[in-house]
């Protein structure tokens, strides 16, 4: 589907595959603003692209960010690039709105910050989608988990266990969640709710809802909490929140406590031991005290799956636990 910018449409083009490229190339917008980054965005091996103002360009091919020494762009050109890339997603970036986050039609997620908020010039962060739908078997072959853990993950889906996937930024939470949802029976209806839609699922009945930011007049915003309430009216067999960052954790726990088995969500956390504190912080934003949060979580969530990205770049499931209540406080207990 073409992009529309300033009333003009720009179809997507696909860069030809080079030696060692993935089986499927990645589509890139044709708009000329993309030209300085086109070769890196089209490279199927690249997962992230970073422009650090006048400090240059970095790309991640799975082993950490690496600088591209031959890439240079002046301060004004970097600012123009940031503004243009955000406009491709249908939002604006200017001095009044110096930070923005958008999703391009083909799945790339673009975040940009303008100076003086960004001290070294405009900063751009682009997270690129994989060239195929994530699959549990593929993740296992890449070293994400052993056979026993893979079988346990499949049982969680088959038994309609409500799952919370946790990990740090870039650890692979969304990829793992999408792979799990790809094992949901085709007769079931999946409704996913995200701040910026990133989940790509190999499933024929997937309904995607995406939050909306306010317009220039400060109206029209639709938050995740509102979307969760709307989704409950859509008869989901599996209700999924791409990432809980605030008070929507209350709506998710409430929904999963009212018969919506097989649901899922993701939460940022540095380790399994940090999950209770993270959820308590989110619950506080929703006006939930620690006791209410603990009881709701232990009742709603059947398993917490934590994933980490190692120094070698490999994302690995490092533990599966179940929520518990201890002295009216939330805890987690490793699953043997």
Residue 10 scores a pLDDT above 50: no
pLDDT tens by residue, 131-169? 667 789 999 998 999 999 999 999 999 999 999 999 998
User: What residues does each domain of the chain span?
Assistant: 32-127, 136-334
User: In the predicted model, what is the mean pLDDT of residues 75-89?
Assistant: 93
What is the DSSP annotation of 130-190? Answer: PSS---HHHHHHTTSS-HHHHHHHHHHHHTT--EEEEESTTSSHHHHHHHHHTTS-TTSPE
Beta bridge partners of 167: 268
Which of the following CATH numbers is that of domain 136-334: 3.30.420.40, 3.40.50.300, 1.10.3720.10, 1.20.120.10?
3.40.50.300
8 Å CB contact between 235 and 260:
no
Q: Which contacts qualify for 209-212: CB closer than 8 Å, 24 or more apart?
A: 210/103
The answer, as to whether pTM is greater than 0.85, is no
Which of the pair, 90 or 150, is modelled with greater confidence? 150
**CATH number attached to the domain at 32-127:** 3.30.450.370
Given a cut of 90, is residue 255 above it in pLDDT?
Answer: no
Give the Cα separation of 196 and 104 in Å (integer). 10
Lowest mean pLDDT among 53-57, 254-258, 292-296, 330-334: 254-258
């Amino acid at each position: 589907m073409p992009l529309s910018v300033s009333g003009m449409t720009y179809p997507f083009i696909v860069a030809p595959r080079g030696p060692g490229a993935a089986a499927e190339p990645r589509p890139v917008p044709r708009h000329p603003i993309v030209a300085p980054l086109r070769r890196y965005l089209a490279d199927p091996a690249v997962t992230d692209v970073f422009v650090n103002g006048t400090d240059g360009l970095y790309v991640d091919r799975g082993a950490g960010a690496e600088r591209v020494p031959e890439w240079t762009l002046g301060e004004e050109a970097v600012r123009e690039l940031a503004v243009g890339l955000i406009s491709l997603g249908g939002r604006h970036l200017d001095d009044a709105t110096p930070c923005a986050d958008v999703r391009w039609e083909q799945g790339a997620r673009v975040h940009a910050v303008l100076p003086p908020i960004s001290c070294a010039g405009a900063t751009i962060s682009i997270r690129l989608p994989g060239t195929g739908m994530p699959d549990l078997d593929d993740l296992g072959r890449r070293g994400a988990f052993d056979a026993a853990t893979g079988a346990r993950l499949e049982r969680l889906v088959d038994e309609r266990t409500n799952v919370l996937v946790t990990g740090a930024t870039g650890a692979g939470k969304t990829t793992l969640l999408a792979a799990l949802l790809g094992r949901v029976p085709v007769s079931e209806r999946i409704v996913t709710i995200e701040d910026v839609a990133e989940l790509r699922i190999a499933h024929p009945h997937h309904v995607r809802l995406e939050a909306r930011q306010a317009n220039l007049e400060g109206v029209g915003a639709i938050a995740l909490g509102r979307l969760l309430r709307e989704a409950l009216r859509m008869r989901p067999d599996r209700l999924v929140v791409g990432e809980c960052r605030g008070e929507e954790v209350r709506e998710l726990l409430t929904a999963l406590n009212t018969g919506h088995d097989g649901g899922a969500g993701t939460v940022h956390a540095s380790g399994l031991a940090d999950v209770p504190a993270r959820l308590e912080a989110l619950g506080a934003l929703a006006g939930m005290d620690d006791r209410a949060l603990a009881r709701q979580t232990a009742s709603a969530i059947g398993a917490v799956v934590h994933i980490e990205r190692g120094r070698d770049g490999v994302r690995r499931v490092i533990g599966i636990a179940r929520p518990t209540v201890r002295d009216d406080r939330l805890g987690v207990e490793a699953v043997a």
